[in-house]
Each structure stands twice: as structure tokens, then as C-alpha cells.
Amino acid sequence: MVVDVAVTAESALAAAAARLKSAGITDARREAARLAEAAWGVEPGQARLHAGRIIPVERLDRLAAMVERRAAGEPLAYLAGVVGFRRLTLVSDARALIPRPETEGLVDLVLERMPAGVVADVCTGSGCIALALAQEGRYDRVIGTDCSGEALALARENGKAAGLAVEWRQGDLVASLAGERLDVLVANPPYLTSAEHAALDRSVAAWEPALALESGADGLDATRRLVADALPLVKPGGWLALEVDCERAAAVAALAAGSGWNEPAVYRDLFGRARYVLARRSETS
């Protein structure tokens, strides 16, 4: 005779955390709770409540499967299926990079300088920057572009769920923006070398799209083209705002200056790293 043993939320979470810890996951208890919320279909912060609640077997099985995938290196955000970005809750999966806290700072810099007009987010990925600007700014139009059709499909889903109007376009860098006159062009382009990509933590290198991370022998191929090709699209007095690799911020600023942008400046992210380069088109050119 088979006897089912009742398993409580508390014991299920403890077992999940122990497995994650054994796999080298640093914040195992927090991650176990997030996985449980996804597996059990409960709201954020609810997994640890009602510790004595009995969890049905099928939900325990879902949690166990997700824990094993996380232990194998799959990113937490992809497993949980959603990620927070500023005021947004976005779907996150392998079609695009996971939105990160550092990128939120780029949105702040843009809103401080040009919160209205027409803005384009190049290499939009999940749509996080474009959607945050659409939600928090006063823009007449927001455009999001990406070369990846899969990424754009995810961005569209996120835009529809958020109820925000963004024009999504597919094309390489600024190719789909021909004829536009922009007040701001913002981008988080790929900026790693192949060697740097290979050296990333496996949860990034093996899961997140390399197309959005690698950019030639010096990591600057996409940025080099972007700063040159964006200038004619931006109105006099308008802005270029880029997220960059912290080791190449000065090089990106020099590229911007060499392409005709005025007074490129480097700004630091919330961790104190040189993470953003902003420059302006001349008022008279």
C-alpha cells in the first residue's frame, strides 16, 4: 500500500533552498520562494505565508522540476517568467536579455534631459526601456527597434500587457528609423567581445541570447556603427543615450566625439561603475 506523505509549504521551501544551496546558489532561500510562487501560482511574497499549508503533489513536482533547472544554471528570471523593471512587471524568457537594475538608471538620465517629443529605443529586447519611457515620459511617440523578431514578439507582448503604446520595428540598429527625426535615441547595444562572453557566468552565457551580448573583437562594433549612424536621425539639440561596458565608457565617449556629437559625458550606475554615455547633437547642425 502506498501512503502519501503530506508536505507543507515550509518543508517544501526548505528542501528547495537546500538543493539550490548545494548547487552553489548564493541567495537560495529567496530564490526558492520565487520559484515556489511561479510553481504554485501565488502572488509575490506569498510563498512563505501559511507555512503549515499542505501543497498538492502536482505543485510539488512543478517546484522540484524548476529547482533542478535552476540548479543546472537556467536564469531565475526565465524560470519565474517575470521580472520587475521600474514600475513595470515584464515577461522574461530566452527571447531577450533579462532586464537589469543598471538599465533603470539609463531611463532616469533620459527622463531628466528630454521627457517629451519622439524617442527611439534601439536594441529594445524585452522592450523594458521603451515601455518605461512610454509609461513615465510625455512622449508623442515611442519607437522600439530590434534585429531579432523573437525579441520584438516578446516586447509586443509586454507592451500589450502594460497597455502602453510603442511602435515596434524590426531592423539592424537604426535601419528601421530612416526618415525619422528624433529628440532622443537611447540604446543598450551588445558590447562584449567573444572571449568576455565565454567568460560570463553560465547562467548568462549559456542561456541569454549571444546576439544581444557579443559585438566584435573589441566589443564596440555595434556601438561604433550606432554613434555614427544615429547623428542624422536626431534633431539639433537632441540626445544620444547609451548603456556601455564599464571598461569601455571612455572609448565610447571618444567614438561619440569623433562622430560629431557634442560634449559626450560618462555617468555611473547604482553600483558606482561607469555605465552610461550621453551626448548631444549641436543646436546649429
Q: Would you list the domain boundaries of the chain?
A: 9-72, 82-280
How is residue 191 written as a grid cell? 558590447
**What pTM was estimated for this model as a whole?**
0.92
CATH (one of 3.30.200.100, 3.40.50.410, 3.40.50.200, 3.40.50.150) for 82-280: 3.40.50.150
In tens digits, what is the pLDDT along the chain, a chain of 285 residues? 333 568 899 999 999 999 999 999 999 999 999 999 999 998 888 887 777 889 999 999 999 999 999 999 999 999 999 999 999 999 999 999 999 999 999 999 999 999 999 999 999 999 999 999 999 999 999 999 999 999 999 999 999 999 999 999 999 999 999 999 999 999 999 999 988 988 888 778 889 999 999 999 999 999 999 999 999 999 999 999 999 999 999 999 999 999 999 999 999 999 999 999 999 999 886
**Burial tier of 63 (Cβ tally within 10 Å: 0-12, 13-18, 19+):** buried
- Give the pLDDT of residue 5: 66
- Give the pLDDT of residue 53: 87
- Give the pLDDT of residue 70: 96
Q: How far apart (Å, rounded) are the C-alpha atoms in residues 90 and 254?
A: 34
Residue with cell 506523505: 5
- The one-letter amino acid code at 181 reads R
Which residues does residue 49 pair with via DSSP β-bridges, in sequence order? none
